[in-house]
Amino acid sequence: MLSARSLFVYCTANQALRCARIAERPGAGLVIAPYRHDERGALATAAYLRDRSQLTTPILLDAARYAGQNRLPASAPFNPRWLRRQRELGLPVLTDSGYVDGGDEAGLVSILHRTMAIPDGIAVLPLNPVWLRDRLHLTTLTNRVRDAGVAIALVLEARGDPFGLPGTVAGLLEVLGCGVPTLLLRSDLSSLGALCHGAVAAAVGTTGALRHLAPRESVPMNNQRGPRPPATIFKPTMSYRRISAIQRAKRSHPDPRLWSCDCDACAGRDLDWMAALDDREREVPAFEHAAAVLFALRDEVLSGGEHQNRNSWAARCADAAYRERELGWPVTPMLRHWRDTAPNSVEMPLAS
Ligand SMILES: [Zn+2]
DSSP per position, 238-275: TEEEEHHHHHHHHHH---HHHHB--STTTTTSBGGGGG
- Ligand 1 center–CA 50 separation, angstroms: 29
- Ligand 1 center–CA 317 separation, angstroms: 20
Location of each CATH 3.20.20 domain in the chain:
6-218
- Ligand 1 center–CA 228 separation, angstroms: 20
| CA dihedral for 236, 288, 301, 62, sign (positive or negative) | positive
Contact 290, 265 (CB under 8 A): no
- Ligand 1 center–CA 252 separation, angstroms: 20
Q: How confident is the model at residue 352 (pLDDT cuts 50, 70, 90)?
A: very low
- Ligand 1 center–CA 254 separation, angstroms: 17
Q: How confident is the model at residue 256 (pLDDT cuts 50, 70, 90)?
A: confident
Burial classification of residue 98, based on how many CB atoms lie within 10 Å of its CB (0-12 exposed, 13-18 middle, 19 or more buried): buried
| CA dihedral for 22, 302, 158, 42, sign (positive or negative) | positive
- Ligand 1 center–CA 160 separation, angstroms: 24
In this predicted model, what pLDDT tens digit does every residue of 41-93 receive, in sequence order?
999 999 999 998 888 999 999 999 999 999 999 999 999 999 999 999 999 99
- Ligand 1 center–CA 9 separation, angstroms: 17
In this predicted model, what pLDDT tens digit does every residue of 121-141 receive, in sequence order?
999 999 999 999 999 999 999
- Ligand 1 center–CA 271 separation, angstroms: 6
User: What values do phi and psi take at 104, rounded to 5?
Assistant: -85, 65
Contact 243, 273 (CB under 8 A): no
Which segments of 166-212 does DSSP mark as H helices, in order? 168-176, 190-196
- Ligand 1 center–CA 295 separation, angstroms: 12
Q: Pseudo-torsion of CA 332, 26, 153, 161, nearest 10°?
A: 10
- Ligand 1 center–CA 297 separation, angstroms: 13
Residue type, 249: A
Q: How many CB atoms lie within 10 A of CB 54?
A: 8
6-218 is classed CATH 3.30.160: no
